[in-house]
Amino acid sequence: MEELISKLHAVLGAANTVQEVEAIRVNFLGRNGSITLLFEKLKSLPNEEKKAYGAHINSVKQQAEKLISESLATVSEKELISKLNAAEAVDLSTPASVELGSFHPRSLVLKDLEEIFESMGFYVEDYSETVTDYDCFESLNIPAHHPARDMQDTFYLNNGQVLKTHTSAAQNHIMRKYGVPVKAIFPGRCFRAEATDAKHETTFYQMEGIMVDEGISISNLIYFMKTMLSEVFKTDIKVRLRPGFFPFVEPGFELDIACTICGGGGCQSCGNAGWLELCPCGMIHPAVLKEAGIDPEKYSGFAFGLGVDRLVMMRYKCKDIRDLNKGNLKFLSQFKGGA
Other CB atoms within a 10 A radius of the CB of residue 18 amount to: 14
Question: pLDDT class for 1, splitting at 50, 70, 90?
Answer: low
Residue 117 within a domain: yes
Co-location of 242 and 184 in the same domain? yes
Segments forming the whole domain that contains residue 138: 105-327
Do 38 and 162 reside in the same domain of the chain? no
Q: Give SS3 for 332.
A: helix
Q: Which helix (H) or strand (E) holds 13?
A: helix 2-14
- Model pLDDT for residues 208-247, shown as the tens digit of each residue: 999 999 999 999 998 998 889 888 888 877 888 899 888 9
Q: Are residues 130 and 217 in the same domain?
A: yes
Instruction: Examine residue 206 and state whether it is found in any structural domain, yes or no.
Output: yes
Q: What is the mean pLDDT of residues 12-29?
A: 86
Residues 323 and 232 in one domain: yes
* Inside any domain, residue 205: yes
Query: Could you tell me the pLDDT band of residue 339, with boundaries at 50, 70 and 90?
Result: very low
What's the pLDDT tens digit per position in 50-90? 788 778 878 888 888 888 888 889 888 888 888 777 766 66
Whole-structure pTM value: 0.66
Bridge partners, residue 130, by sequence: 163
Domain stops at, among 87, 115, 134: 87
In a domain, 333, yes or no: no
Within this chain, do residues 153 and 288 fall inside the same structural domain, yes or no?
yes
| Domain count along the chain | 2
Average pLDDT for 257-278: 87
Distance CA 104, CA 117 (A): 20
- Burial track 226-256 (b if 16+ CB lie within 10 A, e otherwise): eebbeebeeeebebebeebebbbbeebbbbb
Residues 240 and 204 occupy one common structural domain: yes
- Please report whether residue 99 resides in a domain: no
